[in-house]
């Protein structure tokens, strides 16, 4: 199916307009940074998100006219502006990485991460949101994806363990191991997954600085593909919460989250939405913590996530999702 010339020209015009808007925003952004003081500032997650979006729109490459899998609801091809190898680093010791341009549903983020790593489920009936409804079959299953893979047991010299139990075992018994990770991108099962995993690999790494009594737990999140508007801060926040839960379970301090995205993209029908979103006023990062009484990873619930002072812009409604 060839890409319609009129659509291609419209996509190009909107991209050029977005770049012009980014240049204007850059001037205003520097002004905000000079005016705002320590009492009111932009969250670090906002800074990273805005800069990432600007970089994709200004320096990314387009897939228009190419053979692509995703489709819009009307059946037309969903093209993107993409950037290869985006890497963002967040330090949870400084602030929680939630954007304030719009509010990220932190309880729902946590619910999905519990669905995958605690319940080890791949059935949407175990999930309290509808983010996976498009990929579920009549039984609610999304196939052998995500939670299913975390729950698969393997044989170790210490006995049979699934992936999450192995992570917890190693962090408690051999915290400086460089082999503490999970992986949901299992080639043998891809044909039975309704969607290949996007955020697929997590690596845990423990550090201890000079004079520090407690260990610090850090995480690398590897992601093959990301819809920046729909999923970027959602993924960042949910894996920040996972890092916090695992650290608390193991008596460690949650440290850095390194997010590696192979293909970070903005869909053609999201360009104008992104342009408006990153022009908004920003606020300080919210205060996010866990119920300190919970010490068992499998005892956490969304009620144990405590969110305070989360001021944010209005929600973006009716975002078109490419499937």
Under 8 Å between Cβ of 255 and 217: yes
Q: Out of 21, 198, 237, 250, which one is annotated catalytic?
A: 198
In the residue annotation, 21 being an active-site residue is answered as: no
Residue 316: count of CB within 10 angstroms of its CB:
16
Kindly write down the DSSP assignment for every residue of 145-202, as one continuous string. Answer: -THHHHT--EEETTEEE-HHHHHHHHHHH-TT-S--EEE---GGGGGGBSS--SEEEE
Q: What element of type H or E holds 253? A: strand 253-267
CA-based torsion, 259, 46, 248, 239: positive or negative: negative
Q: How far apart are CA 283 and CA 43, in angstroms?
A: 6
Phi then psi for residue 88, to 5 deg, are -120, 140
Give strand pairing partners of 219: 204, 257
Q: Cite the active site residues.
A: 198
């Amino acid at each position: 199916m060839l890409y319609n010339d009129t659509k291609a020209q419209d996509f190009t015009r909107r991209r050029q307009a977005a770049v012009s808007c980014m240049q204007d925003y850059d001037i205003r952004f520097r002004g905000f940074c000079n005016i705002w003081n320590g009492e009111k500032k932009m969250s670090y997650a906002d800074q990273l998100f805005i800069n990432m979006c600007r970089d994709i729109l200004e320096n990314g490459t387009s897939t228009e006219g190419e053979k692509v899998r995703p489709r819009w609801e009307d059946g037309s091809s969903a093209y993107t502006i993409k950037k290869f190898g985006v890497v963002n680093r967040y330090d949870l010791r400084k602030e929680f990485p939630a954007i304030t341009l719009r509010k990220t549903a932190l309880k729902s983020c946590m619910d999905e991460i519990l669905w995958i790593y605690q319940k080890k489920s791949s059935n949407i009936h175990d999930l309290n949101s509808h983010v996976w409804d498009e990929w579920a079959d009549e039984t609610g299953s999304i196939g052998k994806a995500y939670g299913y893979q975390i729950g698969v047991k393997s044989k170790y010299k210490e006995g049979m363990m699934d992936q999450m139990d192995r992570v917890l075992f190693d962090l408690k018994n051999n915290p400086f191991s460089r082999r503490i990770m999970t992986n949901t991108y299992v080639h043998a099962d891809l044909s039975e997954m309704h969607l290949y995993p996007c955020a697929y690999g997590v690596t845990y790494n423990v550090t201890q600085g000079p004079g520090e009594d407690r260990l610090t737990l850090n995480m690398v999140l590897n992601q093959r593909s990301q819809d920046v508007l729909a999923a970027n801060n959602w993924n960042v926040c949910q894996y920040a919460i996972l890092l916090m839960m695992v650290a608390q379970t193991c008596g460690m301090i949650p440290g850095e989250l390194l997010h590696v995205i192979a293909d970070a993209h903005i869909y053609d029908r999201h360009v104008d939405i992104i342009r408006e979103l990153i022009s908004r006023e920003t606020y300080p990062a919210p205060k996010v913590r866990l119920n300190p009484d919970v010490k068992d990873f499998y005892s956490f619930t969304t009620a144990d996530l405590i969110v305070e002072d989360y001021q944010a812009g209005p929600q973006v409604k009716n975002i078109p999702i490419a499937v």
